Amino acid sequence: MNKKLNPASCAVDYAFQRIGGKYKGRIIWYLNDNNILRYGELRRIVQGITPKMLTQTLRELEEDGLVLRTVHHEVPPRVEYSLTETGKELLPFINHLRVWGEKQMKLEGDTCY
């Protein structure tokens, strides 16, 4: 478990500490269900992320038991990431959030960016 978590004042607080952050939601979502992605694939898919942040975020997700990291000892090395059962339980939530986000983005039109 991620030691950096602060004492949570309630379950909502706790949950946001665990999946908050700039990239965690997207990474979990891209890893949806039985999708297995390699480090390099994630780097391409999660637009704008730097290697450092990708590694750091994946480590936190791993510590938190949401993501499984599998190292294949080959040359060149291959590292695959997938969701744990606990991580998969978050998918419905993120999916609903995504649907909400899409709706909101349409309502905005071009006036925002």
Instruction: Give the residues lining the site for a copy of itself (CB under 8 A).
Output: 1, 5, 7-16, 18-22, 25-26, 29, 46-48, 86, 89-90, 92-94, 96-102, 104-105, 108, 111-113
Neighbours of 57 (CB within 10 A): 20
Sorted by sequence, the CB contacts under 8 Å of residue 71 that are 6+ apart come out as 77, 78, 79
Q: Cβ of residue 38: shortest distance to a copy of itself, in angstroms?
A: 19
CA 39, distance to chain mean position in Å, is 13
Which residues of this chain interact with DNA, rule CB under 7 A? 4, 21-23, 38-41, 43, 48-53, 55-56, 58-59, 69, 71, 76-80
